[in-house]
Chain A
């Protein structure tokens, strides 16, 4: 994956020079280990700032919403599916985009690395399938596969589903992955156990909305929690309000979520926010055979009707 960066720079430089795009949206090197910062590049001379490694987990589709320019955007598998969703939902037009596809082998979960290091991580070096973690007086080599983001570990769409340029040939997709073991565990719980599970899951929430704002699906001009005339949801950490926010947000993502992991990645309190959306993603697949963002030519499962719908109530 490290070799991609030269190709990313080459393509970006060409697109800018040929004025095919006004800007490239990608990543620049972060200021702390395991973090890169989304950035834009408008001139050929700034292309050198672009980076690519396993710390580019932020979903760049989130940075396309309602933009007016011609944009070259770097897209992993998940980003590409959210770009498709953005196109379908009219948040950006296909003609505005030059999609620079990046086959992905998964992104690093910085918290897993920090836990494995058990000290302040001062430097992380990436080499093919391993990472070398350095801290005060320690140096550890860890298999990348052991510290992938949870969603990356079970990803079955690593290659971009839509692209105009590819930085490399496709990577092998993971086969035989059990994507829903965690959801089945929750499904098997009694109502009381489920209640406790979600209560505990949400207890650290500080209502900062990082999960919502990192999510490329959450682009409503005014989110329901921000409505003030009338106000629907309280502003405090009252459990009813916190639950309302998370449950409703999850349902707004039904049939749209690509399990890109942005919400969980963003949460400063380490909440696995995916636990809410994943059940809906599973239902969309099992009930409707639907995976979000796979094609710009197919309407999403929840905005279509077919005469042979198995449910009688809808006929």
Chain B
């Protein structure tokens, strides 16, 4: 596998050069806050490659909190009256700089839902196809990172086109796909990293994986029946603290649920896809007023059963969690997916 060396002196210049062919996205410190978020980089703006983690995940690059799917007019004097039209979309190439391996792995989890043999969400799929993922390996995993237990790991390459490894004065850029190769060329980074680069990366990978202090197991969840887990007596205790806000689902890189809303003003309107959360009563309420998940416990159970059981049974490809630890860090009342998983696996 090809490894390129990028001297940090050439970093800003390369990023700048790549702008002519790519829209750039990356982590940026939020003004007046001590955390960063992924966003489209403005002209001259650089990705913050020292950001340990973003508060919400980069899923928003292809799955924004809100997105106009269609526009319409109810003006009868217009030819297109009452017809839904897809507005112009920009699916020109995007490079996602500094995405962490677990977040790239999450894209493949989300893809299982948005891109199936039967159904294809064109908004997500077209945006995803436009992306080149320039990942950044996690040299120092946080205490909440349990990505080695899931689909991923601090140096995992799944879902990435390039894996950057911070070597201090330079980056090693491991080229994983042709897409990744094309981005590096567009940035003008072509210096051969030397024969021992892969070995050096491997050493850091072993060190980073060894630094991960927290793991989860779900082997027994797989063996248990849905009804056994669904009817288990621990949900009262597991769900007690939950306040049913949407924080866990909104910071999660793999939560994919959305609502569809029509917003009308005068005779024109838009149909919007907007993030939704299984933690909300409104998520499941029927027009009759009946709500199949009326209580907090039912909703909390749904979230964990979906992530740790239904998903695993349906796709037979692990759990719907990449171990980033965001939900643990952000939950206002310390509901910890590791603790719940352990209980379910018990």
A residues in contact (CB < 8 Å) with B: 30-32, 35-40, 58, 62-63, 111, 114-115, 120, 122, 136, 200, 204, 206-210, 212-214, 222, 226, 228-229, 234-238, 265-270
Stretch at the interface among B105-113, B196-204, B334-342: B334-342
Measured in the bound complex, the distance between the Cα atoms of B28 and A204 in whole Å is 13
Query: Assuming A36-B334, A234-B261, A268-B332, is B244 touching A213 (CB within 8 A)?
Result: yes
Q: Please give me the residue from chain B that is nearest to A225 by CB atom.
A: B282
Measured in the bound complex, the distance between the Cα atoms of B34 and A108 in whole Å is 17
9 A-B pairs with C-beta separation under 8 A: A31-B338, A38-B333, A40-B237, A120-B142, A206-B65, A226-B280, A235-B66, A237-B65, A266-B333
- Nearest CB of A to B235, in Å: 13
Measured in the bound complex, the distance between the Cα atoms of B32 and A115 in whole Å is 12
Measured in the bound complex, the distance between the Cα atoms of B250 and A237 in whole Å is 13
Question: 1/0 per position for B24-65, CB-CB distance to A under 8 A?
Answer: 000000101111000000000000000010011000000001
Measured in the bound complex, the distance between the Cα atoms of B251 and A269 in whole Å is 10
* Top 4 closest pairs, chain A to chain B, by CB: A266-B332, A210-B245, A236-B66, A213-B243
Taking a contact as CB atoms under 8 Å apart, the answer to whether A270 and B338 are in contact is no
B272 at the interface (CB under 8 A from A): yes
Q: Is the interface of B mostly helix, strand, loop or mixed?
A: loop
Taking a contact as CB atoms under 8 Å apart, the answer to whether A236 and B65 are in contact is yes
Taking a contact as CB atoms under 8 Å apart, the answer to whether B144 and A234 are in contact is no
- Nearest CB of B to A130, in Å: 22
Residues of the B chain whose Cβ atoms lie less than 8 Å from the Cβ of A269: 33, 55
In the complex, given contacts A236-B66, A265-B332, what are 8 additional A-B residue pairs having Cβ atoms less than 8 angstroms apart?
A30-B336, A32-B144, A120-B52, A210-B247, A214-B243, A266-B247, A268-B247, A268-B250
B182 at the interface (CB under 8 A from A): no
Q: Please give me the residue from chain B that is nearest to A23 by CB atom.
A: B240
Residues of the B chain whose Cβ atoms lie less than 8 Å from the Cβ of A30: 334, 336
Query: Assuming A31-B334, A32-B328, is B30 touching A204 (CB within 8 A)?
Result: yes
Residues of the A chain whose Cβ atoms lie less than 8 Å from the Cβ of B122: none
Residues of the B chain whose Cβ atoms lie less than 8 Å from the Cβ of A62: 243
Residues of the B chain whose Cβ atoms lie less than 8 Å from the Cβ of A204: 30, 33
Measured in the bound complex, the distance between the Cα atoms of B142 and A32 in whole Å is 12
- Nearest CB of A to B115, in Å: 24
Q: Please give me the residue from chain A that is nearest to B338 by CB atom.
A: A31
Residues of the A chain whose Cβ atoms lie less than 8 Å from the Cβ of B276: 235
- Cβ 8 A contact of A206, one of B56, B143, B281, B333: B56
B125 at the interface (CB under 8 A from A): no
Measured in the bound complex, the distance between the Cα atoms of B243 and A62 in whole Å is 9
